[in-house]
Amino acid sequence: MSPDSKPPVIIKKVKRAAHAHHGGAWKVAYADFVTAMMTFFLLMWLLGSTTEAQLHGIAEYFQNPYHTSLSGGKTSGDTTSVLKGGGPDISKDFGQVNLGDSEATLSRKHAGDSDLALLQALNTSLRQAKEQSPLLHEFRDQIKIDFAHDGLRIQLVDNQHRPMFALGSEALKPYAERILTQLTPLIAKLPNSITIIGHTDARPYASNGRNYSNWELSAGRANSARRAMLAAGLSENQVRRVSGMAAELPFDVAHPRAPVNRRIAIIVLNAQAEQSLASGSADKSQELQTLITASR
């Protein structure tokens, strides 16, 4: 290279990379955070500005949403409740306008509560008698007591070796008559009426040409129990119905010929069942359902 020549000029072009786009994920997270904080402070404000009755009404609504619109009374039925409804006029939007139960309804409720208390007391007395009486204690497995739809049910059931009736007969065994004699005074103390239902097993009755079947046998046994209870002090006015169901309603459905299906069911009626029988307002289907419930 000669002294007069100039050095070549080298130009470097550097390409700078643009900053990468960071995206908007942080905005979504921030928005969620702000929303959560706003919800939290709104909840704190609501809890601090509502009364105890309103809080109870809200809690009750979530437990039973229908209660607010179907019943009155305190909390969800109060005019202080934030949940409106429950009245006959749906145009009303301030508080509850339901006036509550009528006097007749309240009277029926009180009568029902009193009736239930009597039946529960009888249930306790009968169970105590089963433990305290030597005779009843001996037959405690054949004396079944429970509550049915119609009231308190007492059933005397057969055992393989200790039937309550003589074979194929309407006559009570002596010990079965003594059992009824001890149970009857406890039942007779109540003003409640009773029904007596006889049942047999599924074995056909050997009538030997007579026009006699398990229907007549079950009804006859129920009537024998009625006579024994009357002799033990039961008022005849307390007996509202005596019927026989033959083998139609077995106690042991899986074994229709089992001895336990041969039984007498005594139902101490509750007020509702007694009124239904007295008025005759129950239709046949309801009546059959009542018998099914009371016999199982």
For 241-272, write each residue's pLDDT tens digit. Answer: 999 999 999 999 999 999 999 999 999 999 88
pLDDT digits (tens, 9 = 90+) for 174-216: 999 999 999 999 999 999 999 999 999 998 887 776 788 999 9
pTM: 0.59
**Cβ–Cβ under 8 Å, residues 221 and 261:** no
- In this prediction, residue 83 carries a pLDDT of 46
